[in-house]
Amino acid sequence: MQKRKLGKSGLEVSAMGLGCMGMSFSYGPPKDKQEMTALLRTAVERGVTFFDTAEVYGPFINEELVGQALASFRKQVVIATKFGFDVNPNFDPRGMKGSPCLNSRPEHIKQAVEGSLKRLKIQTIDLLYQHRVDPNVPIEDVAGAVKELIQEGKVKHFGLSEAGVQTIRRAHAVQPLTALQSEYSLWTRTPEKEVIPTLEELGIGFVTYSPLGKGFLTGKMNENTKFDSSDFRSILPRFTSDALKSNQALIELLNKIAEKKKATIAQIALAWLLAQKPWIVPIPGTTKLARLDENIGAATLELTPDDLREIDIASSKIKVQGARYPEKLEKMTGR
């Protein structure tokens, strides 16, 4: 597996990371713990060194899974986790019950980190993200709290998730950011306008979640695809029947390139991301070994300048239908 450095930080990770959320959370009921443990360990054996989790995934059980599964590989792996929500028994991260409980007060960050360290069975968090920008806490205070945790040796690197350009600049001035984690793929290209140029200017890496469009860019969905109520996608505007039907144009484009390259649609989508910048690292999630191998295979797939030009020209004519999130959750991005 090739390695990549996240911006100028010197943090080196596998070119393809692994998003662990879906093993415990969001895409239906939690998966079998033994199976997921085996999958995580196989990922390390296949060369994956970058694993992404968060305290709210479960809540808590995803960090416990990752911590237990990777304990014997500690020196080989980079573990990223996130703080930023008040996690209580009534917590609903989808924001569908009450309002999402953001909390990035410095004292809360420190409590969250102590909990994450225990669950992950580690002494230091390699990369700590603010999960969503909290409008009630100045970002300078957040960055200052993480800076103290770095000085104490409890955290190595600082990141933000779904933050806007001004917030990125303000945080970076207090504690240099190693990475921004936001959604980016062929059907979510918003970061290209302002975010990616800012990251390049400041030397910050870009960790892209949902690089396969929450499963859509695998080509396995159509307007007849149904989602269980425990599946997060059941509330997303982009996964309504009409939107899924309309957005098939993107799949047809990717399929054309995939046939030419003797690759899968998912591999083309991931290879396209890797080709955008050398400091972009996708973290596709999966619960299946065959999909893990498929995703890893994309790291060695080379798209030529002609391939990339063809994808860009054709995709520029396709208007993706449907918002990424319901309005309440959409408001929590880009702050």
- Between helix 106-120 and helix 61-70 the angle, nearest 10°, is 40
Dihedral through CA 318, CA 321, CA 327, CA 331, nearest 10? -10
Q: What is the per-residue pLDDT for 89?
A: 62
Task: Report, as an integer, the average pLDDT of 36-64.
Answer: 97
- Between helix 165-174 and helix 195-202 the angle, nearest 10°, is 20
Q: What is the per-residue pLDDT for 90?
A: 66
Is residue 180 a part of any domain in this protein?
A: yes
* Assessment of whether the complete model's pTM goes beyond 0.95: yes
Q: What is the per-residue pLDDT for 88?
A: 73
Is residue 335 a part of any domain in this protein?
A: no
Distance CA 138, CA 156 (A): 22
**pLDDT tens-place string over residues 276-332:** 999 999 999 999 999 999 999 999 999 999 999 999 999 999 999 999 999 989 999
Distance CA 162, CA 210 (A): 12
DSSP character at residue 239:
G
Q: Give me the CATH number covering residue 56.
A: 3.20.20.100
**pLDDT tens-place string over residues 112-144:** 999 999 999 999 999 999 999 999 999 999 999
* Pairing of the two strands 78-83 and 125-130: parallel
Number of domains in the chain: 1
Residues 150, 176 contacting (CB under 8 angstroms): no
pLDDT at residue 195 is higher than 80: yes
pLDDT at residue 171 is higher than 80: yes
**pLDDT tens-place string over residues 69-116:** 999 999 999 999 999 999 876 666 555 555 568 999 999 999 999 999
Residues 191, 205 contacting (CB under 8 angstroms): no
Q: What is the per-residue pLDDT for 87?
A: 86
Range of the domain at 248: 3-330
Residues 56, 91 contacting (CB under 8 angstroms): yes
Catalytic residues: 57
Q: What is the per-residue pLDDT for 35?
A: 98
Task: Report, as an integer, the average pLDDT of 252-271.
Answer: 97
Question: How much is the mean pLDDT over the chain?
Answer: 95
Burial of 139 (0-12, 13-18, 19+ CB in 10 A): buried
Please state the length of the chain. 335
Q: What is the per-residue pLDDT for 327?
A: 92
